[in-house]
Each structure stands twice: as C-alpha cells, then as structure tokens.
Amino acid sequence: MAVKSHTEESVVLRVTELGKEYKLYTSPRQRFQSLLTGRARHRSHWALRGVSFSLVRGQCIGVIGDNGAGKSTLLKLLAGTLRPSTGTIERVGRVTAILELGAGFHPDFSGRDNLYFGASLIGIDPEQMHRLEPEIIAFSELGEALDRPVKTYSSGMAVRLAFALVTAVQPDLLIIDEALAVGDQHFQKKCIERILAFRKNGCTILFCSHSPYHIRHLCDAALWLEGGQVERFGPTEEVLAGYDLHSRKREILADDDRASLSPQPASAVAADQIAPPAERGGAHIVSVEVANLHDEHDGQPRLLQSSDLVVTITARGRGAECPHIGFMIEQSQGVGITSLATHEDGAVPVQLADGTWRAVLTFPDLPLHSGSYVISAFLFDETGLAVYDQWFQFMHFRFIFPKPLPGLVRLPHHWS
Ligand SMILES: Nc1ncnc2c1ncn2[C@@H]1O[C@H](COP(=O)(O)OP(=O)(O)OP(=O)(O)O)[C@@H](O)[C@H]1O
C-alpha cells in the first residue's frame, strides 16, 4: 500500500510480501537429526509475514508495534543483516543502518581501529575515512578514549562511536532502531539534530521506536506491525490513534489481570515513587505542585477543591538552554483527555534566580465532569523533541462538578 501518490523514480524502498520464518527445534539434537535425515523436525515461527509497503525519497516513517511484533526483524531484513524467507526488498542508493549500535565492534581493538574496520563494512574506503575521521571523532566526543580498547568503553561510549560513524555520510535510506532510547540527554539531542538535518536534505528515514512522541514529531507516516503482519500503514496521526486505542485496551486487560491477583487501593501515588531516576546533574523535573488539593482520606485520591486547576511545574534545564514543559490529564481508567506543552502553545517557561525553570498552567473553570483523574508532567529540550524527564501518571486527583451530567468534559459551546 502506498502512503501517498508518487512517481516510480522517487521510490527508494519497495518491500513485497516479505516474510521471515524461524525454525524452532526443541533441542540441538533435534536440529542435528533434521540436518541428517532431511526430515523437518521443527516448529515454524513466522516473525514476519506478507509485509508489503514502499517508501519515497525524503519520507520519514516510524515503525511501531508491541514487543515481539516483528519490528527488529523487519529492520534487520531491510539492513541486509538477515535474509528473508519469502518476498523481495528493492532498495535504491546507499542504505545505512544503526542497528544494535556498537555490537559489531571488536572489543580488543581501539575505538580508532574499530572506526576504520566498521567504515569498510559500510562502504567507506580508507581514503574517505581519513577525511571523515576528525568529524567522526568530534561527534563522538570520545577524546583520548578513542585509542583505548573498546572493551573498556561504557555502553554509552560505544553507542556514541557507532552513531558518529554510521551517520558520517548521509545515506539515501537511514534505518534507526531505538537509537534515541540509548545514550545520555546530550547525545540524544545530537542524534535528533542529525536525523532532522538528514531529513531536511531529502534522506529517507525508517525509524523504529517505542516512543509515540518521537514518531509523532519526526515521522510523516507510520507502519504498525502486529504479530508479524502490517496492521496499518498510513499518515502518522491515523496510525498512532489506532495503536493508542489498541495499547489502552491491552493495558486495561493487563490491569484486570493484576487486580484479580492483588487488589490495589486507588490512592494517590507519591511522586518520588514514580519519578524516573533523573540523571542527577542533568535536566530533570524538580517539582509539580497542584493548588487546592485536599488531603486524601480513606485511600481515595485527593480532591480538587476549586473550580480552577492550577499546576506549577519547576524543572532544572541543561546549561543555558530554555527547556519546554508538557502536561497531560487522563481519566483514571486511562482515557486521554488533554496533552499540552509550552512549545506547542508558543509559551516559554520563566527562569528563576536559582537557575530552575518554571511554568504555571491554569485551567480556569476546569471543564471536567465528576470523576477520578491522573496527571503526568514532561520536560523537553528547547526543540520539544528530546524528552529529558517525565513523571508519568504520578498523581491522581478527584474532581466533583456540581451537576451530575454524563460524559467526560464540558466542551465550549453555545445554544441558539
Ligand atoms: N533468532 C530468532 N529465533 C527465533 N525466534 C526469533 C528470533 N528472533 C526473533 N524471534 C521472534 O520473532 C518475533 C519478532 O521478534 P522481533 O525482535 O522482530 O520483535 P520486536 O517487534 O522487535 O520486539 P521488541 O519490541 O521487543 O524489540 C518474536 O516472536 C521473537 O520471539
């Protein structure tokens, strides 16, 4: 299925009826017997089946799906590190893949030696590599560590080296597997900037991520895999909306299962239990205060005792950069109500004397009906693309609207 109409010349990747079968043997002996006798003794597992799509030049496509849906298998097939069992892949131009970053490095050789070795594998000849070396080294920020054996590197250092090498030359098609989930904040930001620059220059990007946020902001189309097959392929928002519904249904089922095992009180959760381990010294959310919340009792979430919801979010940024702040309200059963962010609204957090940044968000005359709600706060970089920190569903509260009307919200409206 094509995402948008395009001429044949602009297609850089065409995948037709692609499939990957894994043969599962119960023991090495069974595998051996099957090799000897030629009789199939395996169970067949199709990690990918009947996948067809095409990408045109300059398109950025996000691949989403649950664990085990076949995303990595698809990316490895496209990168050529796995052979398909069925179907064809037609690629035009130079293709590079950032898969399992750093996995291909030789641990006993230095970072520099590995650069030359890795370059030859992705089609960069030694002369070209000689020219690119300073820029690759600068991007990796490894300094003197470059001449140490790679086995002495942290995983973050290996990733920096691999990303710097693989993106040293702009390819026609760049395949990225969760690269943004690794590395520190500073590195994530550099990765995003480089990906955006490639995109601007017409590079086609295939990007696999568990982060709908990054898919939404970087990709113009999305491919949703489910059980190894294409569930949906099309404009990002439409596919993400379908996947969001699917994920919520799955979470509700999982919650029901958990509840039947060990009932949990629906009480407010302390922020410090949920807040991710913000790298101390890095950008992080410092506090989120909600005005007029009455203390909880009887295990109930705290009650908002005002018709206005006023939330003050304070965060520590990175260097002189002005970060952005996001906020989300959901119904406690997991139905999303609203997500907002300073960068989406053209607002700017204010810097306080102690260097922290603060944004105060006010919902005047909160247009919600009576019910239980849960809030989340997010900290972004200055572009709104890198997520520095998130306090996800960290606080529940109750709200009582005096009139018992059915529904979720009171939308702005008028009668005539
Ligand atoms: N080498 C292998 N041998 C047998 N089965 C495999 C192998 N590699 C992957 N699989 C199976 O293929 C299916 C797809 O796996 P894949 O790693 O592509 O999923 P994924 O969508 O990338 O998952 P995740 O989000 O967890 O990384 C899974 O059922 C997995 O168990």
Low-confidence ranges of the chain (pLDDT < 50): 1-4, 262-280
Output DSSP code: residue 218.
Answer: H
Give me the pLDDT at residue 302, please: 87
Report CA torsion sign: 265, 268, 269, 270: negative
What pLDDT, on a 0 to 100 scale, did the predictor assign at position 181?
60
Concatenating the DSSP letter of every residue in 260-307 gives: HHS--------HHHHS----TTS-EEEEEEETTEEPP-TTPPEEE-SS
Q: Is residue 177 exposed (0-12), middle (13-18) or buried (19+ Cβ within 10 Å)?
A: buried
**Does the beta carbon of 212 lie inside 6 Å of ligand 1?**
no
Task: Return the closest-CA partner of residue 116 out of 107, 108, 125, 151.
Answer: 125
**Is the CB of 19 inside a 6 Å radius of any atom of ligand 1?**
no
Tell me, what's the pLDDT at 262?
Answer: 47
Closest residue (by CA) to atom 11 of ligand 1? 47
Q: What is the pLDDT of residue 169?
A: 85
* Residue 225 CA, closest ligand 1 atom number: 21
Assess whether the C-beta atom of 4 lies below 6 angstroms from ligand 1: no
The count of other CB atoms within 10 Å of the CB of residue 231 is: 16
State if residue 45 touches ligand 1 by the CB under 6 angstroms criterion.
yes
Domain boundaries along the sequence of the chain: 8-94+171-245, 276-399
Q: How far is the CA of 250 from the centre of ligand 1 (A)?
A: 19
Between CA 307 and CA 363 the distance in angstroms is: 9
DSSP H or E stretch at residue 206: strand 204-208
What is the number of alpha carbons within 13 Å of residue 276 lying toward its C-beta? 17
126/11 Cα distance (integer angstroms): 31
How far, in Å, CA of 416 to CA of 405, rounded? 21
Which ligand 1 atom is at minimum distance from the Cα of 73?
A: 18
- pLDDT tens profile 330-369: 988 778 899 999 999 999 999 999 999 999 999 999 999 9
Q: Comparing 8-94+171-245 with 276-399, is the CATH topology the same?
A: no
Q: What angle do CA 9, 14, 18 make, to 5 degrees?
A: 170
- What atom in ligand 1 is closest to the CA of residue 70? 18
- CB of residue 392 inside a 6 A radius of ligand 1: no
CA 274/CA 272 separation, integer angstroms: 6
% the chain with pLDDT above 90: 38
Establish how many alpha carbons lie within 13 A of residue 266's alpha carbon, considering only the half-sphere containing its beta carbon.
15
For domain 276-399, the CATH architecture is Distorted Sandwich (2.70)
273 CB near ligand 1 (under 6 Å): no
Q: Round to whole Å and give the CA distance between 98 and 102.
A: 9
Question: Would you state the pLDDT for residue 2?
Answer: 42
**Is 124 exposed, middle or buried (CB count within 10 Å of its CB: 0-12, 13-18, 19+)?**
buried
In this prediction, residue 146 carries a pLDDT of 92
User: Which pLDDT score is estimated for 23?
Assistant: 82
Residue 402 CA to ligand 1 centre (angstroms): 51
Angle subtended at Cα 22 by Cα 43 and Cα 158, rounded to the nearest 5 degrees: 145
pLDDT for position 9:
61
What is the ipTM score, two decimals?
0.95
Superfamily of domain 8-94+171-245: P-loop containing nucleotide triphosphate hydrolases (3.40.50.300)
Q: CA angle 208-102-173, nearest 5°?
A: 45
* Residues pairing with 23 in the sheet: 44
| pLDDT for position 383 | 84
Give, using CA atoms, the residue closest to atom 12 of ligand 1: 47
